[in-house]
Amino acid sequence: MDGGTQGVVRHRRVDGVHVLTLAHPPVNALSAAVRVGLSRALDLAQDEGAAAILIRAEGRGFSAGADIAEFDAKPARDVPDLGAICSRIEDFPVQVIVALHGIVLGGGLELALAAHLRVASDKAMLGLPEVALGLLPGAGGTQRLPRLIGAEQALRMMLTGTPVAAAEGLAMGLIDHVVTGDPGVFALRMAQERAGTTPLRTCDRRDGMRDGAAYQAAVTVARTRNKGHRLPAPAKIADCVEAALLLPFEQGLIFERAAFEDVLQTPEAGGLRHIFLAERSAARLPATVATAQVKPPLALAIWGAGGVAADIAGQALRSGMRVTLADPSREVLMAALEAIAARQLTDLADGRLTPQARDADWARLTSTIGQGGLEGAEVLVLMRPDLALSGGAVVLSLVGRLRGTIPLALAEGPGRLAEVTVTADTPPDRMATAFAFVRRMGWRGVPVGAGGPAIPRLSAALAEAVSEIEAEGIPRTTIAAALAADGIAGDGRAQTRPAGADAITRRCLWAMANEGARLVENGTLRRPSDVDALAAGAGLVARWTGGPMFRADAAGLLILRRDLRLWAKGNPALWTPAPLIDRLIAEGRSFAALDRA
């Protein structure tokens, strides 16, 4: 045995087996560097006459797929794309076996599909989530996956983006072996046993294509279900899966690549990529908070059982916390307890909760009339019904174990966002405790500065713009149809755009963009992309729109300022351009330039 290192791909030999290890933390993204490393390792294995190849990975998972940050960059001429790497693996003359653990997503699964045998840990999760970015698998996934598992299951995986567990993957034919513990040990033994044997390529398999009529029927069903979808990717995925049946494999790869390039250039895919990156930036904590060592709170008390208190208590119980729910009114308290019980009955019926777990939840729940029993809580939530805000947000006050109060605004919406107020004079350990609580609750915490929360301000700007449009004589039904079709307070699915929709949409987006610029300028939000992340997370805009700041950049800040100045004559408070917009125009910069600063 000897060893060597090629950057983010480690290479060693075990007898005649060449072991290639992905070592690119934190998620082994298949970046340009990784692809170059794989290409060089395959060159070496070929030159040395490897008897077999094992591909494995270090870290928490095999690979999360492509590096999204590289999607909009032009690749260097000497960097192979993932499709070329996959084809080379598939065509290798000896067995190529992959050992899969943790997350195996996107391009990571496509690489595994190109191998000849797949061994997975029983804890592995495998999926093709590209549709969530408005894309489709572009490295042969749409052609290889249905060959293994058929059109129905392949379409389900690609159209929902939902990962499957290793056991399910084994049952459907996606995985060849599932093992407990490290799959690399089993895979290495298999590679040694099969050294020098001729592999069966995935492209030559027809396991999932034996019943052509059923295969085509599954494609037809997928097309029908996704008819009218605003995003082009679902229809393209169905086309590619059909091509896998009808075209020779190499032609199918060409068809898939053309479809991938088509959807990659769509505004919707660009918006989804922007939101994905914006959410990661928005959730990034200040260094002093991220490095603070605090223990996740285990005991929660809630003073005030009205409003969303029952939802918060139920979520805390599901997370394993001890909960004390208190209110001065017996009637309000009983209503909250009944709401918790009703949610548990629904979860029981849907299979999301077992009777044993329900009993354990109730054993950790204490209810009390008055404030007795609140003193021992690690986190005390003071419900503030007097500060219920527009946009579905409610303000809570967290009083932590550090005897300090932190305002938190919880927004209703698909993202279940929690805006946590972070100021310069708040001790880092107190802020870290607040974010530990937010994570324990399963919410996505976003730090905001003074002047927040931001979502209600964006929502108020949107509502005021709608009121102005209606005051100009445009029927509310027309406004609602235009906004729903264009992804504002709707997803744009199967909507007919009325006449004048462009003007209606622009007015509403610009109102939020202008308010967003004010939020950035006064330090409430750290960057323009935070505005987009919050707007999408709260459901004010569909993710594929990219958000108001993204759309303003796409139109150009000169256009944004021109429109705002025109409308400001009637409502200066809403439409007068934020000074930040003037400054960026003078500097020749965009909102995105501030994101990168």
| Residue numbers annotated as active site | 66, 107, 110, 130
**Which has the closest alpha carbon to 452: 495, 498, 494, 418?**
418
Contacts of 85 (CB under 8 A, 6+ apart): 35, 38, 39, 42, 111, 114, 139
N- to C-terminal Cα distance for the chain? 48
CA distance 552 to 558: 9
Q: Strand 103-105 to strand 96-100: parallel, antiparallel, or no bridges (unpaired)?
A: unpaired
In the block, residue with structure tokens 């086309």: 239
Helix (H, G, I), strand (E, B) or coil at 152: helix
How long a stretch of residues is the chain?
Answer: 597
3-state SS track over 175-218:
CCEEECCCHHHHHHHHHHHCCCCCCCCHHHCCHHHCCHHHHHHH
CA distance 110 to 260: 14
CA distance 152 to 224: 13
**Which has the closest alpha carbon to 466: 512, 411, 516?**
512
In the block, residue with structure tokens 């994101």: 595
CA distance 548 to 505: 10
**Which has the closest alpha carbon to 302: 323, 331, 322?**
323
The Cβ of residue 129 has, within 10 Å, a number of other Cβ atoms equal to 19
Which H helix or E strand runs over 119? strand 117-121
Tokens read off for 197: 């044997």
CA distance 563 to 509: 11
> Reading across the β-sheet that carries 103-105, which strands appear in turn?
103-105, 125-127, 164-165
In the block, residue with structure tokens 């459907």: 172
Burial group, residue 350, by CB count within 10 angstroms (0-12, 13-18, 19+): exposed
Please calculate the CA angle 143-49-140 and round it to the nearest 5 degrees.
Answer: 10
Q: How far is CA 390 from CA 90, 385, 490, 491, in A?
A: 55, 12, 17, 20
Contact 414, 392 (CB under 8 A): no
CA distance 37 to 207: 32
Tokens read off for 278: 């914006």
Residue 259: CA count within 13 A, CB half-sphere: 30
Ordered alpha helix ranges (H), 419-500: 428-440, 454-471, 476-485
Contact 549, 529 (CB under 8 A): yes
